[in-house]
């Protein structure tokens, strides 16, 4: 109860893994560890969906819907009429060249500076 | 460009400003290639963002070392957040390597990146496009001296933490961020319900901005909103007691007066706590999304009911009820 963080969008296909070790190296939460023949997904619920493993996996064995796990950024995105998945940190320069500072980085977060 | 491994008092003053969120977008370093000490073409190359705190953490960790420091243009954002946005990313790295003529300046073909930069950089892509092998160093610059001995990071060095000190460092900027809205809402509440209401708001905000970051791992609930709500309820206990013992009239009226204390103010704490997800080092997109869908409607109801009641009580009082 009261745990929204039990599942994540992380998907791993060991059949594609070439055991290059990049995922276990870049993961900041020990989700992957080095295995004998392929990387082993040992702690999926610790995944914060940062996407480091996915982008550094040369064979695309890992898929995750990565983004910022920041409520402030998501709610600002919603207020601007965007979907929660379009949330980003910090100031954005929009297509008109004007600055769109989301409160994420002014509201109190250390994230963006 | 040249830099040193020592931090001046001016540097430290700027760090304090950055930690307080003062001129927060201005703590930048010029992007480009820096020399630290007397590097030769075989000296190691470290890559970092152009946020002053990141750059200074790196150079001050490389005490006595000769090295190259390649500073990417991340618009003054730290490595991890910039990597999340992609500004500390493959494209910027490839571009910066070209702009600084790095291939001609150094003989080494290895770049040492902070591990958290991996969110934006595809090592195999950089290798393909530039010939440089990306090596992910430890999460924290302070582990670099140890890392450089073996060029292997221990499991501990690879983990992001969120220590008490980390969390306490965030408290000043949290407090300052909520200062103005609290002042405004507090003034309104003072006119509606006197010092009692204004103080209750301040207590609720402090519970969210100060107590929640500090006590985070010790409250055994995963959801930030719920953890905040619990803390909000705890700091409301004195107000609850004061309201119960101080108010007169019919029982239903006295109970009704408790509603904002039990639902309204703790909701403020819960909302502030939910907004701390972005400062934390472990929340996933999916989890935060679930929290928003689960609790924001509830928060809106709790707050709405409390606001209506508080205004109602103020009107009744003004009318002499």
B127 and B170 part of one domain: no
Whether B154 and B7 share a structural domain: yes
pLDDT at B34: 96
> Among A111, A25, A24, which residue's Cα sits nearest to residue B112?
A25
Residue B7 — pLDDT band, cuts 50, 70, 90? confident
pLDDT score for A90: 56
Domain count, chain A: 2
Cβ density class B86-117: b for 16+ within 10 Å, e for less: bbbbbebbbebbeebebeeebebeebbbbbbb
Same domain as B192, residue B81 = no
Closest-CA residue of A relative to B24 is A113
- The pLDDT of residue B207 is 97
A113 pLDDT more than 90: no
Per-residue confidence (pLDDT) for residue A77, from 0 to 100: 86
| Interface contact flag, A112 B78, Cβ < 8 Å | yes
pTM score, whole prediction: 0.88
State which residues form the domain around B285: 164-318
Instruction: Tell me: pLDDT of B24 over 80.
Output: no
Q: Check CB contact of B93 with chain A, cutoff 8 Å.
A: no
Return the beta strands (E) in chain B as ranges. 2-3, 32-36, 45-48, 67-71, 110-113, 133-136
Largest Cα separation within chain B, whole Å, is 85
Average pLDDT over residues B125-144: 96
pLDDT value, residue A104 = 40
Q: Residue A89: what pLDDT?
A: 65
* A57 and A78 together in one domain: no
Cβ-contact B306, B267 below 8 angstroms: yes
Lowest mean pLDDT among A25-39, B7-21, B256-270, B293-307: B7-21
Residue A19 sits in which domain range? Answer: 11-63
B173 and B139 belong to one structural domain:
no
**Do A84 and A44 have their domain in common?**
no
Phi, psi of B70 (to 5 degrees): -100, 115
Domain identity same for B176 and B151: no
**Tens of pLDDT, residues A39-98:** 999 999 999 999 999 999 999 999 999 888 889 888 988 888 888 887 776 544 333 333
Check whether residue B148 and residue B112 sit in a common domain.
yes
Residues 6+ apart with CB under 8 A from B54: B48, B78, B79, B114
B168-172: average pLDDT: 92
Q: Tokens for B23? A: 């001129």
Query: B119 vs A9: CB contact, 8 Å cut-off?
Result: no
Mutate to test the interface with B, among A1, A4, A59, A84 (most CBs of B within 10 A): A4
Total of domains in chain B = 2
- Among B4-18, B50-64, B184-198, where is mean pLDDT lowest? B4-18
CATH code of residue B39: 3.40.50.11600
Same domain, B136 and B247: no
Q: Give yes or no: residues B144 and B183 share one domain.
A: no
Residues B8 and B144 in one domain: yes
């Amino acid at each position: 109860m009261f745990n929204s963080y039990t599942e994540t969008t992380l998907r791993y296909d060991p059949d594609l893994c070439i055991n290059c070790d990049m995922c276990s190296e870049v993961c900041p939460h020990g989700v992957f560890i080095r295995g004998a023949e392929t990387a082993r997904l040992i702690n999926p619920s610790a995944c914060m969906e940062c996407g480091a493993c996915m982008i550094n996996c040369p064979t695309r064995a890992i898929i995750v819907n990565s983004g910022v796990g920041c409520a402030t950024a998501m709610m600002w995105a919603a207020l601007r009429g965007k979907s929660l998945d379009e949330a980003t940190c910090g100031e954005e320069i929009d297509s008109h060249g004007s600055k769109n500072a989301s409160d994420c980085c002014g509201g109190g977060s250390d994230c963006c500076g | 460009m040249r830099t040193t491994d020592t931090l001046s008092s001016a540097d430290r003053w700027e760090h304090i400003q950055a930690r307080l969120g003062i001129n927060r977008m201005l703590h930048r370093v010029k992007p480009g290639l820096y020399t630290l000490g007397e590097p030769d073409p075989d000296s190691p190359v470290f890559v970092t963002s152009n946020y002053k705190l990141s750059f200074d953490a790196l150079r001050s960790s490389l005490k006595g070392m000769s090295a190259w420091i390649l500073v990417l243009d991340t618009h003054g954002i730290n490595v991890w957040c910039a990597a999340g946005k992609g500004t500390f990313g493959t494209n910027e790295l490839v571009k910066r390597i070209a702009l600084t003529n790095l291939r001609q300046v150094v003989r080494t073909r290895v770049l040492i990146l902070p591990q958290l930069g991996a969110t934006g950089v595809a090592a195999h892509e950089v290798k393909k496009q530039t010939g440089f092998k990306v090596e992910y160093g430890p999460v924290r610059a302070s582990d670099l001296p140890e890392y450089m001995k073996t060029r292997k990071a221990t499991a501990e060095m690879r983990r992001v933490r969120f220590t008490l000190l980390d969390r306490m460092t965030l408290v000043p900027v949290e407090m300052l961020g909520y200062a103005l809205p609290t002042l405004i809402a507090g003034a309104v509440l003072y006119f509606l319900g006197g010092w009692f209401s204004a103080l209750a708001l301040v207590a609720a905000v402090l519970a969210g901005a100060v107590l929640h970051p500090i006590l985070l791992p010790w409250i055994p609930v995963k959801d930030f909103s719920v953890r905040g709500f619990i803390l909000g309820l705890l700091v409301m206990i004195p107000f609850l007691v004061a309201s119960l013992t101080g108010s007169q009239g019919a029982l239903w009226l006295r109970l009704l007066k408790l509603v904002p204390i039990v639902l309204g103010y703790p909701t403020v704490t819960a909302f502030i706590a939910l907004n701390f997800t972005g400062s934390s080092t472990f929340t996933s997109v999916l989890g935060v999304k679930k929290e928003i869908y689960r609790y924001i409607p509830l928060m809106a109801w709790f707050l709405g009911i409390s606001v209506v009641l508080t205004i109602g009580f103020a009107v009744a009082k003004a009318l002499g009820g």
